[in-house]
Structure 1
């Protein structure tokens, strides 16, 4: 018997993605940082994490695994990158 889908897993067709300790709806994601945060401040708690910018000017911070999983879920949710208008693949 297959286990029931729970809010804490990232399998199935859920529109939620777990980032840090939060379940984030994919439709709220505006962009995801390509490089880890670095500001040089001694007391910065976010260095090495990737910013995931949400609507309303909010951000959550993802480690590399969470960032990659979120990108993969967004691409799957949106159907992936399709052919360009001239029919060529990106």
Structure 2
């Protein structure tokens, strides 16, 4: 398994990913070129922009890289994490 994932034309190290947007970008600006893309936020306030397929693949890669832990609400015992 690689620790790199291809987003747009960039090989992104999974350990640099801080968060992945759940909804596509929409700002309403007429000249916006990121409408409909998902932001993948990296360390040091950098971002890359992914289409839906890349975003879904990034989430799968992150989950596999972390050992398939899943989201906190996937707990089979029903215990909720206290954030």
What is the TM-score with the length of structure 1 in the denominator? Answer: 0.78
Q: Aligned ranges for residues 39-78 of structure 1 at < 5 Å?
A: 39-78=27-66
Asked which structure has the greater CA Rg, the reply is 1
2-structure distance, mates of 1:32, 1:87:
24
Q: Structure 2: how far apart are the matches of 1:31 and 1:54? A: 7
Aligned residues: 77
Structure 1 or 2: larger helix share?
2
- Provide the alpha-carbon RMSD of the alignment: 2.1
**Unmatched segments (≥5 aa) in structure 1:** 1-12
Mark the runs of 5 or more structure 2 residues left unpaired by the alignment.
none
* Structure with larger RCO (C-alpha < 8 A, sep 6+): 2
Q: How does 1:1-90 map to 2 (within 5 A)?
A: 13-81=1-69, 88=77
Q: Structure 2-normalised TM-score?
A: 0.85
Give the 4+ runs in structure 1 shifted more than 3 A: none
